[in-house]
Amino acid sequence: MKDIIEDWVTEPEDQDSRETREVYALAGLALYCAQCLEHEIVNVLALSAMLRRSLRPPKEKRKITKNISTRYGAKAFGEHSAG
């Protein structure tokens, strides 16, 4: 296994090859960091939306529940009519 790794990873011979390898390594690192930042922004936006919903005043929640109930009936909340 050690021979395979030694054959696969080679040191560039000239300065241009070293610089090219360095540029690609740094570009890959920059893209990775950008994707991590993007993912964290999505997490923050999702969390803020969840907090806004959970921090609504109870009166507004009742109003929303009543609107849904009148529009879609009791089945929207899993209630079954007796009959």
pLDDT tens for the 83 residues of the chain, in order: 566 656 777 788 899 999 999 999 999 999 999 999 999 999 999 999 888 877 766 666 667 767 776 776 656 556 555 54
Q: Where are the domains of the chain?
A: 14-77
pLDDT for position 30: 97
Distance of alpha carbon 21 from alpha carbon 12, whole angstroms: 8
pLDDT the model gives residue 1: 57
CA distance 20 to 32: 18
pTM: 0.52
